Amino acid sequence: MMMQLLRSREALLALAIVAMIVGISTRFGAFAAPENLTNVFNDTAILIMLALAQMVVILTRCIDLSVASNLALTGMIVATLNTIVPGLPVPALIAVALLFGAAFGAVNGILVWKLDIPPIVVTLGTLTIFRGIIFLISDGQWINAHEMSDSFKALPRVVFLGLPVLSWVAIAVVGLFAVLVTRAPLGRAFFAVGGNPDAAVYTGIDVGFTRFMAFVIAGAVSGLCGYLWVARYAVAYVDIAAGFELEVVAACVIGGISIAGGIGSVGGAVLGALFLGVIKNALPVINISPFWQLAISGSAIIIAVAFNARSERNKGRVILKKAEHLV
């Protein structure tokens, strides 16, 4: 039982996170304090949600490099709307963010599905387009805290049962994705399409539509995160979350989600995001510049992909050995 647990990617990642926290707390005891760990989770909440969004796309053998730009664009849209109609209820603004985010995700999905353009090319293009649209909407200007309504800024910070609402939203999203990938037919279709697209067709799964839905879901979550990011930090501008897509992909691959598709778990994505979150929060404590975060994320991607590839290759060898034995 113990050996099986240690072979689990999620268990090893959880142990690595605990080891980091313990190691840092030996020098800075306050780091492991419950209040600080709550702050770490809250700081990582948006990364957790975007990692889950990216996960469903990667499961289908695609990738969405536009999630951070989608977040920035939807954040600018709702912030602008809030300045124009300050009395608009926050739930309505969240609905707008979800709808616009899903629509931007649908653009990616249609281009991949109907025009058969490689996902990395599509999303690199829309990454730039979304940033350009932000500039057109804002004319390059910032929307600052004093221009936003108090209710708009308050929601992510409201504390409920010891956690900010932002953290509770992340927990709810984790629960929804757990149900999606383990119980819903669409979730099973994500794995089938990523595992073997040709075989998925013979089981009656529409590969193109399944990938389209993955992009729509990723877009909707990005839109939600757009509101949460802008409201929490009380600022909207062109370069919000610039480069954040690298951290999102890093969280996925660290969590064991295979870039080749068809392999991954909600727990892995969450732990991958928390791993990066702990590192990010630990950098100032150990006197390392936060600007190293991108370098660390990039290195983590390379190491994790190499580890994943080796694990998958070893599994293939075991299958071949069994086949040879049978012959």
Run of H or E including 163: strand 163-164
* CATH number of the domain residue 126 falls in: 1.10.3470
pLDDT of residue 327: 41
Domain-embedded: residue 22: no
pLDDT of residue 3: 47
pLDDT-derived band of residue 317, with 50, 70 and 90 as boundaries?
A: very low
Give every CB contact of residue 265 below 8 A, 6+ residues apart in sequence. Answer: 10, 181, 255, 256, 257
Domain-embedded: residue 204: yes
The percent of residues above 70 in pLDDT, for the chain, comes to: 89
With 50 as the cut, is the pLDDT of residue 90 above it?
Answer: yes
Which pairs count as long-range contacts for 127-132, CB under 8 Å and 24+ apart, including other chains?
127/65, 127/66, 127/68, 127/69, 127/245, 128/69, 130/66, 130/69, 130/70, 130/72, 130/73, 130/104, 131/69, 131/72, 131/73, 131/238, 131/239
Domain-embedded: residue 17: no
Task: Give the angle subtended at the CA of 227 by the CAs of 266 and 53, to the nearest 5°.
Answer: 20
pLDDT of residue 312: 60
Domain-embedded: residue 201: yes
Domain-embedded: residue 21: no
pLDDT of residue 12: 84
293 or 117, which is more confident: 117
pLDDT of residue 75: 96
Domain-embedded: residue 134: yes
Between the CA of residue 212 and those of 61, 69, 141, what are the distances in Å? 12, 18, 33
pLDDT of residue 216: 98
Give every CB contact of residue 7 below 8 A, 6+ residues apart in sequence. Answer: none
Give the Cβ contact number of residue 282 at 10 Å: 18
Domain-embedded: residue 218: yes
Give every CB contact of residue 167 below 8 A, 6+ residues apart in sequence. Answer: 38, 41, 42, 45
Run of H or E including 158: none
296 or 274, which is more confident: 274
301 or 62, which is more confident: 62
* pLDDT tens digits, 167-218: 999 999 999 999 999 999 999 999 999 999 989 998 899 999 999 999 999 9
CB 272 within 8 A of CB 254: yes
Q: How many structural domains is the chain composed of?
A: 1
Domain-embedded: residue 33: no
CB 71 within 8 A of CB 222: yes
Mean pLDDT of the chain: 88
With 90 as the cut, is the pLDDT of residue 303 above it?
Answer: no
156 or 285, which is more confident: 156
Amino acid, res. 100: F
Range of the domain at 59: 44-326
